[in-house]
A and B are shown apart, each in its own frame.
Chain A
Amino acid sequence: MSQSHETQPVTSPPTDREAAYLRVLSSPEFGDLKHKYRSWVIPATLAGLTFYFVYVLMSTYAVDFMSQKLVGNVNVGLVFGLLQFVATFAVTMAYVRYADRELDPRSSKIREEMEAEGLA
């Protein structure tokens, strides 16, 4: 079950197993999966972090704006803070939907092909 992870000298030619992984890596199916994955998660992560740091910076340098009361004692800052929760939940649900529909079928297909080849 356990595989050892020895490093290979760069100059040696790939073994059959390594060549097979290199083949999968350069296959269009894998390229498609990688693109589908990265083109979703990287922008989503950056958007989430940006929204968070805007909140932090405004809490630090736009105190008057954040202190404005909206309803009763609830002010802009608190609503902005609660929106961080909403954003986190929204990203989570959207990602699960996306992964179930777009990522899982693609990754299982590649994995099953590799297992059929005896690679995995």
Chain B
Amino acid sequence: MIDTALVRAAETEQIGNTALNISIFVGFVVLTLFFVVRASRTNKSTSQMYTAGSSFTGRQNGIAISGDYLSAASFLGIAGAIALTGYDGFLYSIGFLVAWVIALLLVAELLRNTGRFTMADVLSFRMQERPVRTAAAVSTLVVSFFYLLAQMAGAGGLVALLLNIHDSFGQALVIAAVGALMILYVLVGGMKGTTYVQIIKAILLIGAALLMTVWVLAQYGMNFSDLLGDGASAGAALEPGKKYGLDDVTKIDFISLSVALVLGTAGLPHILMRFYTVPTAKEARRSVVWAIWLIGLFYLFTLTLGYGAAAMVGPDRIASAPGAANSAAPLLAYELGGTLLLGIVSAVAFATILAVVAGLTITASASFAHDIYTNVIHRGNAPDGREVRVARIAAIVIGVVAIFGGIAANGQNIAFLVALAFAVAASANLPTILYSLFWKRFNTRGCLWSIYGGLIITVGLIFFSPAVSGSETAMFPDQDWSWFPLANPGLVSIPASFLLGIVGTLTSKEHLEYKAAEMEVRSLTGAGAEGRAIDH
């Protein structure tokens, strides 16, 4: 199937055509900028900036959610994980999809009915507002930062492969350019512009994955079993355990990862915020249904892409390419359709990163401006027009921080970094969201203990894990201060955070009955929900 002579030839040369790659990417930027500039005419008020005036339909928002959710980790990371380890890599796809059951059934509609702009709106609804808002904003910023790091690190690896930029200064420049573009999108287009970018990107990404899937299968006469066989003989195992079945610790690590994946989604602030861009809970439900179908289809494609990359490119070549595992999908594209398909797929991968980082930036800046600046510092009475300005400045600051973080994290495994963001979200956010919506007795202390406890435990365990020091693949491979054995802390940190919420609640006498009644009625009926009438 593979012409090995050609493979060797390609290895010694530059893969693909740099000018073509750049021009396809520039085409995407021009197209999206057109929509962003068009959206900028209405991007004046906070509700336009954060939620596009809740004016999107369920279908539009569902496509945008899939564009927001299918990050570089989903495309590049999972394809690479399956290509290198086979079965164990597919867990990412399954966990990332099943997670949506929680978002659909327990969170999306109730959140839409009780909040307006941010996750903190819901968490602080019936609590002492300032401390809870502060905690929720801190957690939003931390999760978004981890997620941003992963995306920016992915941009660096992709650049190395596609633009043939191998020195770290050149890669840093490109990461900075990606960051600058994302800041521009957010500043000019606000949530409406960002949503258009995510919709366009989702269509391109899912279309490209479908094209490659059909192409790979066509090479095998549409015989999926033969493809699996070839992938397996190249090294992508069909049986579980190649990566995680080595010993008891790796087995527990697999379970820990699976817990973080499935419980993280419904706690991701940038996903939660998307539910506010539609006018009603019914539209929020419709959004999630669209998102589940699109995301599910895409993850089915990852199976073919992963085994296809193993069979047609080969794990050795993937592992030794610039960007390592993250390069499996682009290399497969090159193998299939030469420089043109490589150019298209790499432009799509860039678009993916750009759309996701724009969504993350808008979420983090909205949380800072709406939660911290207006509601905590100014107690809900910020001077007119100041909040939008603060949000814009915050977007610039967050963008710059992300650029430097991305340069520092350049070369890290992105699916893995995103899994850490999921662990933080599942620990610090999900317990408080579920308790707020389903447990009447839950109160301020329970909320604070769960958020801060979850944050400290998760980030602390990551810091002392083999992911950061003391192993070959660690961020600091030459040093060793690790004592926590698991690379993903979810199995410990998530139950601990749920428990802290209970203990904190029961040790406090606070019981805000009236607000709890209002929240419960509003969450289920949508009475008094913000943004039902579009008033801007």
Contact = CB atoms under 8 A, between A and B. Distances in A.
Contact of A85 (B282, B299, B521): B299
A78 B245 contact: no
Given A7-B128, A56-B255, A72-B225, A111 B94 contact: no
Contacts of A82: 300
Contact of B97 (A1, A14, A53, A85): A85
Interface in A59-116: 59-61, 63, 66-67, 71-75, 77-78, 81-82, 84-85, 87-89, 91-92, 95-96, 99, 104, 107, 110-111, 114-115
A37 B524 contact: yes
Interface stretch (B135-143, B289-297, B400-408): B289-297
Which interface residue of A7, A115, A119 has the most chain B CB atoms within 10 A? A7
A22 B521 CA distance: 9
Given A7-B129, A60-B240, A81-B94, A111 B525 contact: yes
Interface in B288-311: 288-289, 292-293, 296, 299-300
Contacts of B515: 5, 7-8
Contact of B94 (A5, A84, A107): A84
Interface string A1-23: 11111111010001000100110
B525 A88 contact: no
A95 B530 contact: no
Interface stretch (B98-106, B169-177, B324-332, B420-428): B98-106
B255 A81 contact: no
Nearest to A72: B225
B228 interface: yes
Which interface residue of B87, B128, B129 has the most chain A CB atoms within 10 A? B87
Interface stretch (B32-40, B466-474, B478-486, B505-513): B505-513
B433 to A, nearest CB: 13
A53 B258 contact: yes
Contacts of A95: 104-105
A9 B47 CA distance: 31
B219 to A, nearest CB: 16
A78 B87 contact: yes
B186 interface: no
A18 B517 contact: yes
Contact size class for B? 35 or more
B4 to A, nearest CB: 23
B335 to A, nearest CB: 21
Contact of A22 (B95, B251, B514): B514
Contact of A52 (B88, B262, B517): B262
B229 interface: yes
A60 B240 CA distance: 7
B69 interface: no
B254 interface: yes
Contacts of B258: 52-53, 56
**What secondary structure prevails in chain A residues at the interface with B?**
helix
A114 B255 CA distance: 47
A10 B510 contact: yes
Nearest to B528: A120
B535 interface: yes
Contacts of A92: 100-101, 104, 288-289, 292-293
B238 interface: yes
B194 interface: no
A99 B285 contact: yes
A114 B525 CA distance: 10
B244 interface: yes
B526 A111 contact: yes
B105 A45 contact: yes
Contact of A45 (B101, B517, B520): B101
Given A18-B514, A41-B105, A63-B240, A5 B124 contact: yes
Nearest to B516: A25
A84 B97 contact: yes
B127 interface: yes
Nearest to A62: B240
B94 A55 contact: yes
Contacts of A71: 225
Nearest to A34: B524
B7 interface: no
Nearest to A51: B98
Interface in B232-271: 232, 238-241, 244-245, 251, 254-255, 258, 262
A88 B98 CA distance: 6
B296 A77 contact: no
B518 A88 contact: no
A72 B229 contact: yes
B125 interface: yes
Contacts of B380: 4
Contacts of A99: 285
Contacts of B293: 89, 92
A104 B288 CA distance: 16
Contacts of B125: 5
6 contacts: A56-B254, A72-B225, A73-B226, A81-B90, A81-B94, A114-B521
Given A92-B101, A104-B282, A114-B528, 13 more contacts: A7-B515, A10-B512, A45-B105, A59-B88, A73-B226, A74-B225, A74-B228, A82-B300, A88-B292, A91-B104, A110-B527, A111-B527, A115-B527
Q: Which 10 A-B pairs have the closest CB atoms?
A: A72-B225, A120-B527, A67-B239, A120-B528, A73-B228, A59-B240, A41-B105, A18-B514, A56-B258, A48-B101
